[in-house]
């Protein structure tokens, strides 16, 4: 797998030439705080010669240090009330790019510790940011034989070891980026499923793939409707990937995830036009992030938690077999759904997955359910590059989204928390009486009031989770995560996948 290999380094003398490292990268808010005399002296001398040192990422000639290279990456805005730990990641990305361009193969990364609580995981965030910077697309790697830029990145920390955790998180993020960022033929539903199976081969993750059309149409009727036109093309046929992580020993909590994996979205009969179809191979970011989370789980094997997932992999194709607006389709939960817009396909896929997970959750230990999806343009209009968490009343009472937002923010993946309200349920009312609910209106979510909140109301109703509210015999906590704005960075169509919210979710799972 194409990823950074992090190595713990706890000997300060590793910064000197001859220890196998060939550059020293220092991420620091100022030159005074560095705390290693040899580096401080070189940095201070460099600042007298070049006033950019300490103000912008700078490469210094450093005789006696590893490789003769010292890169000082200043962390700006540390005193800004609204800055968060991502400023350390920004500095690290800029510095590691310089190290790469300078020809280093084994750089040593030193993040000057901070006493500020909100920067408590600065070194981990900086290291993961290096992984984000260095990842290259699967298509490019397969076409050119491209190999990782570095043999290893040394993590200089005199107080703790971090490499095992960071390597597992980065392995998960590499898998998620590969799945999300790869074009729709190379990463079709079938190829996505096979890539997952290969990634978990020989691991503790239990895997299964549902691909038989009769079973899919019986057990996942809404998902199968979305995929109806794709069944005619063998390589485009849908899949449901089932994953399960079972720890050794007692289980104290169960987490269940539904991942949206629309490998390509034409919009279906409500066709995307005017260039709006470009980038729709990235509509599988939710399923990709969940798959990546399981890769991390497979490596770290945390105690006490059972994690279950269903990934719905479909291509929303256009054709004579395509499902159309006005159809009424009964969901797996027995809810009659009128199709309001075939370009609102993701919630249909998720509803059937959540219905299956609901059944498992009823008998599970301390269950919490999640859906993860690049679902709406509205969330991007509201929050830009931040994902949104929309929870039911049970999850709200347990402060699920609030806790997730706190954990994720500490690790550089901040969330926005949205509130589900009665108006959201009014939006899915089916006025004719022929169906139980309406899947969506016929306008884009980006111009629809509460366009990212009300799909959570639909998911609760269509999946049967609405019947497991606060006053039910078996209440079930459910949180919907809309990651349409955070799944990629930079270019909205072809920017680098981020694997969001994998890191935040893992921290939530192990600290809940």
253, 272, 360, 512: the active-site residue: 272
Report DSSP letters for 54-100, one per residue: TTB-EEEE-TTBGGGEEEEEE---TT-TT--THHHHHHHHHHHHHHH
Collapsing DSSP to helix, strand or coil, 504 comes out as helix
Q: Which two tokens stand for residue 140?
A: 């490019």
Is 272 among the catalytic positions? yes
Of 475, 482, 483, nearest to 392 by C-alpha is 475
Half-sphere exposure of 137 (CA within 13 A, CB side): 16
93, 228, 347, 450: the active-site residue: 347
The one-character DSSP state at 158 is S
In 404-508, where do the E strands start and end? Answer: 416-419, 437-438, 477-482
Of 299, 287, 191, nearest to 245 by C-alpha is 299
| Region for residue 20 given its phi and psi (left: phi exceeds 0; alpha: psi -120 to 50; beta: otherwise) | left
Is 162 among the catalytic positions? no
Of 258, 250, 306, nearest to 510 by C-alpha is 306
Half-sphere exposure of 109 (CA within 13 A, CB side): 36
Distance CA 274, CA 315 (A): 20
Distance CA 223, CA 235 (A): 17
* Residues labelled as active-site residues: 272, 347
């Amino acid at each position: 797998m194409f990823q950074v290999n992090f190595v713990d380094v706890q000997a300060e003398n590793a910064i000197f030439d001859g220890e196998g490292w060939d550059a020293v990268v220092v991420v620091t808010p100022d030159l005074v705080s560095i705390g290693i005399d040899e580096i401080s002296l070189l940095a201070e001398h460099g600042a007298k010669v070049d006033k950019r040192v300490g103000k912008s990422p700078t490469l210094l000639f450093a005789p006696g240090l590893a490789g003769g290279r010292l890169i000082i990456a200043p962390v700006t805005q540390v005193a800004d009330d609204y800055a968060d730990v991502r400023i350390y990641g920004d500095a690290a990305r800029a510095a590691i790019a310089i190290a790469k361009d300078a020809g280093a193969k084994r750089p040593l990364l030193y993040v000057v510790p901070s006493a500020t609580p909100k920067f408590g995981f600065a070194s981990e965030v900086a290291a993961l940011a290096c992984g984000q910077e260095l990842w290259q697309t699967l298509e490019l790697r397969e076409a050119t034989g491209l190999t990782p830029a570095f043999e290893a990145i040394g993590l200089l920390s005199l107080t703790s070891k971090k490499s095992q955790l960071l390597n597992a998180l980065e392995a998960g993020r590499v898998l998620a980026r590969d799945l999300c960022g790869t074009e729709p033929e190379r990463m079709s539903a079938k190829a996505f499923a096979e890539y997952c199976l290969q990634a978990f081969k020989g691991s503790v993750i239990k895997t299964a793939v549902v691909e038989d059309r009769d079973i899919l149409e019986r057990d996942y009727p809404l998902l199968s409707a979305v995929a109806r036109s794709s069944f005619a093309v063998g390589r485009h046929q849908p899949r449901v990937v089932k994953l399960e992580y079972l720890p050794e020993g007692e289980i104290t909590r169960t987490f269940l995830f539904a991942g949206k994996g629309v490998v390509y979205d034409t919009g279906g009969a409500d066709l995307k036009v005017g260039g709006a179809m470009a980038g729709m191979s990235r509509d599988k970011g939710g399923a990709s992030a969940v798959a990546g989370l399981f890769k991390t789980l497979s490596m770290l094997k945390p105690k006490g938690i059972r994690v279950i997932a269903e990934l719905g992999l479909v291509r929303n194709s256009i054709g004579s077999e395509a499902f159309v607006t006005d159809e009424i389709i009964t969901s797996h939960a027995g809810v009659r759904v009128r199709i309001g817009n075939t370009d609102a396909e993701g919630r249909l896929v998720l509803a059937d997955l959540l219905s299956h997970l609901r059944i498992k959750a009823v008998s599970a230990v301390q269950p919490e359910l999640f859906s993860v999806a690049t679902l709406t343009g509205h969330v991007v209009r509201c929050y830009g590059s931040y994902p949104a968490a929309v929870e039911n009343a049970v999850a709200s009472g347990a402060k699920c989204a609030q806790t997730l937002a706190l954990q994720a923010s500490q690790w550089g993946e901040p969330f926005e928390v949205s509130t589900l309200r009665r108006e959201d349920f009014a939006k899915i009312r089916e006025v004719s009486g022929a169906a139980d609910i309406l899947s969506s209106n016929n306008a884009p979510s980006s111009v629809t009031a509460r366009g990212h909140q009300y799909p959570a109301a639909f998911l609760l109703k269509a999946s049967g989770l609405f019947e497991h509210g606060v006053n039910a015999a078996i209440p079930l906590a459910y949180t919907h995560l809309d990651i349409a704005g955070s799944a990629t960075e930079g270019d909205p169509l072809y920017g680098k996948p981020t694997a969001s919210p994998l890191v935040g979710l893992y921290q939530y799972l192990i600290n809940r």
